């Protein structure tokens, strides 16, 4: 793979990094600048031109309106990008790259990409990758209460076919000690200053040893793009992608939990039933890391504020997904939630994948329409109406019913 051009990373930068995420303060109303910022469109290596929220670290949006949320699989060159540190390796030599497996194990391992491809059974999963902060900006629009962090629309999500070796098989080759309780993972990037905490994620040993976690070396049948984590990315189907560590280089088996900024402060929500702030400040609550995704659907077509010619037949369509229980039904309303109809679910690509839905709409009468969609999964989890979603200061786990306005003329 080609040397990665650094040019795009060096310009004036808008750093919306982790350090600004969690200042301890009470919530203020939305500030005007949040709405006024119009991100530029930049072409990064291995990517089509993408809406660029920041170039250092790279934050690239899979923007709605580009027909990404009507497709079951998101193309690699349009897949969103999120990093926390500005110092990302721009070239990796596979001759010397090794995945280290160490800590509370019988044998430490140092695995090349060839080892991973030849010594372990290759497995595949089609799974949605969604940032915990996806759709965060809608919290502010609904409640007029700002949330911390990158103000993503529904553009920090995608679905891909991931291929690699099971994490479990790798851990078994190393031989996990009986005393092991946690597995920590981190990638190759470095903080700009030493004080910045490492992007380190942890999980319980039981979760790490389930069948479904994959150390992936392929995304949609190709090498993973650099910006999405070449050469290795940890895949945790059904789980928010904040733990899907990219450029994965170290797996550390641990007997004790290691406290860290990215596990215990960032990416946490109040540890109550609604995982939301009922009153007062977010930080008055005991916290827990976000984990399983919540049932969600997004309208991919038509784009918000479309103007449709009277007499057209519109294929209203989009995608739905959940934590892996499977989508049971997606309902649509064309009258702002007064009445609902069933949409048609398309091919099932597996329980962790996008489920496409569609609805043929005859645009017969001129006027303004509010389209809403609402998904239900097989265990009865249903998306909350926008007015009912619980708020949290980090702006995580937004999954209210999607709403767009269109006009028939």
Ligand X SMILES: Nc1nc2c(c(=O)[nH]1)N[C@H]1C(S)=C(S)[C@@H](COP(=O)(O)O)O[C@H]1N2
Residue 119 CB, nearest approach to Mo ion (Å): 31
Do residues 64 and 94 touch, judged by C-beta distance below 8 A? no
With CB under 5 to 8 Å by kind, the binding choice for 246 among Mo ion, ligand X, none is ligand X
CA distance 297 to 333: 13
With CB under 5 to 8 Å by kind, the binding choice for 81 among Mo ion, ligand X, none is ligand X
Residue 7 CB, nearest approach to ligand X (Å): 20
Compare residues 4 and 244 and give the one whose CB is closer to ligand X. 244
Kindly tell me the sign of the dihedral angle through the C-alpha atoms of 209, 213, 216, 218.
positive
Count other C-beta atoms under 10 Å from residue 50's C-beta: 26
Residue 223 CB, nearest approach to Mo ion (Å): 22
Tokens of residue 345, six digits: 């679910």
With CB under 5 to 8 Å by kind, the binding choice for 229 among ligand X, Mo ion, none is ligand X
Compare residues 293 and 363 and give the one whose CB is closer to ligand X. 293
Site residues for ligand X, 246-285, by CB under 6 A, read: 246-247
- For ligand X, which residue has the nearest CB? 187
- Per rule CB under 6 A, is residue 82 in the interface with ligand X? yes
Residue 75 CB, nearest approach to ligand X (Å): 13
Site residues for Mo ion, 47-86, by CB under 5 A, read: 82
Binding span for ligand X by CB under 6 A among 239-247, 307-315, 349-357, 376-384: 239-247
Count other C-beta atoms under 10 Å from residue 402's C-beta: 25
Compare residues 87 and 124 and give the one whose CB is closer to ligand X. 87
Kindly tell me the sign of the dihedral angle through the C-alpha atoms of 293, 296, 300, 306.
negative
- Per rule CB under 6 A, is residue 228 in the interface with ligand X? yes
Tokens of residue 66, six digits: 């580009």
**Interacting residue with ligand X among 4, 69, 83, 217 (CB under 6 A):** 83
DSSP letter at 141 equals H
- Per rule CB under 6 A, is residue 241 in the interface with ligand X? yes
**Interacting residue with ligand X among 242, 275, 282, 402 (CB under 6 A):** 242
Site residues for Mo ion, 129-158, by CB under 5 A, read: 131
Residue 357 CB, nearest approach to Mo ion (Å): 25
- For Mo ion, which residue has the nearest CB? 131
Compare residues 233 and 328 and give the one whose CB is closer to ligand X. 233
Count other C-beta atoms under 10 Å from residue 107's C-beta: 9
Residue 247 CB, nearest approach to ligand X (Å): 5
Do residues 132 and 201 touch, judged by C-beta distance below 8 A? no
With CB under 5 to 8 Å by kind, the binding choice for 83 among Mo ion, ligand X, none is ligand X
Binding span for ligand X by CB under 6 A among 76-84, 143-151, 318-326, 339-347: 76-84
**Interacting residue with ligand X among 4, 44, 69, 80 (CB under 6 A):** 80
Binding span for ligand X by CB under 6 A among 9-17, 75-83, 89-97, 393-401: 75-83
With CB under 5 to 8 Å by kind, the binding choice for 174 among ligand X, Mo ion, none is none
Q: Are strands 268-270 and 296-301 parallel, antiparallel or unpaired?
A: unpaired
Binding span for Mo ion by CB under 5 A among 15-23, 234-242, 336-344, 375-383: 234-242
Q: What is the dihedral of CA 289, 294, 300, 302, to 10 degrees?
A: -120
Tokens of residue 184, six digits: 């920590």
Kindly tell me the sign of the dihedral angle through the C-alpha atoms of 35, 38, 43, 48.
positive
- Provide CB contacts within 8 A for 133, sequence distance 6+: 149, 150, 152, 156, 394, 395, 396
CA distance 110 to 166: 16
In DSSP notation, 287-324 reads EEE--B---EEEEEESPTT-EE-TT-EEEEEEEEE-SS
Binding span for ligand X by CB under 6 A among 79-87, 172-180, 308-316, 375-383: 79-87
H or E, element range at 117: helix 113-119
Compare residues 22 and 80 and give the one whose CB is closer to ligand X. 80
CA distance 136 to 383: 15
Do residues 136 and 152 touch, judged by C-beta distance below 8 A? yes
CA distance 100 to 111: 6
Residues that bind Mo ion (CB under 5 A): 82, 131, 242
Residues that bind ligand X (CB under 6 A): 79-84, 129, 131, 187, 189, 199, 228-229, 241-242, 244-247
């Amino acid at each position: 793979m080609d040397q990665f051009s650094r040019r795009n990373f060096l310009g004036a930068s808008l750093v919306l990094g982790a350090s600004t995420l969690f200042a301890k303060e009470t919530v203020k109303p939305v500030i005007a600048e949040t709405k006024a910022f119009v991100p530029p469109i930049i072409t990064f290596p291995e990517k089509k031109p993408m809406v660029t929220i920041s170039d250092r670290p790279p934050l690239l949006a899979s923007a709605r309106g580009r027909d990404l949320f009507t497709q079951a699989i998101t193309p690699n060159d349009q897949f969103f990008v999120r990093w926390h540190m500005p110092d990302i390796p721009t070239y990796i030599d596979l001759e010397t790259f090794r995945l280290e497996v160490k800590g509370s194990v019988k044998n430490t391992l140092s695995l090349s990409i060839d080892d991973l491809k030849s010594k372990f059974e290759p497995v595949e999963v089609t799974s949605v990758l969604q940032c915990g902060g996806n759709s965060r900006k809608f919290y502010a629009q609904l409640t007029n209460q700002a949330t911390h962090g990158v103000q993503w629309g529904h553009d920090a999500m995608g679905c891909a076919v991931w291929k690699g070796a099971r994490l479990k098989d790798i851990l078994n080759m190393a031989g996990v000690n009986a005393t092991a309780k946690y597995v920590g993972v981190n990638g190759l990037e470095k903080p700009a200053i030493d004080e910045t905490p490492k992007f380190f994620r942890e999980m319980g040993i039981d979760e790490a040893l389930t069948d479904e976690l994959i150390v992936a070396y392929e995304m949609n049948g190709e090498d993973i793009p650099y910006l999405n984590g070449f050469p290795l990315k940890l895949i945790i189907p059904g789980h928010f992608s904040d733990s899907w560590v990219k450029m994965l280089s170290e797996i550390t088996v641990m007997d004790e939990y290691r406290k860290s900024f990215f596990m215990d402060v960032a990416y946490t929500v109040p540890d109550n039933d609604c995982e939301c702030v009922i009153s007062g400040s977010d930080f008055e609550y005991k916290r827990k890391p976000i984990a399983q995704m919540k049932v969600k659907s997004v309208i991919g077509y038509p784009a918000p504020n479309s103007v449709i010619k009277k007499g057209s037949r519109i294929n209203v369509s989009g995608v739905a997904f959940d934590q892996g229980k499977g989508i049971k039904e997606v309902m649509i309303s064309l009258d702002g939630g007064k009445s609902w109809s069933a949409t048609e679910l398309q091919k099932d690509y597996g329980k962790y994948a996008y489920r496409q839905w569609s609805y043929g709409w005859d645009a017969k009468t001129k006027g303004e329409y509010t389209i809403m969609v609402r998904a239900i999964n097989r265990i009865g989890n249903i998306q909350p109406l926008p007015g009912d979603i619980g708020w949290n200061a980090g702006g995580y786990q937004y999954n209210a019913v999607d709403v767009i306005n269109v006009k028939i003329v």
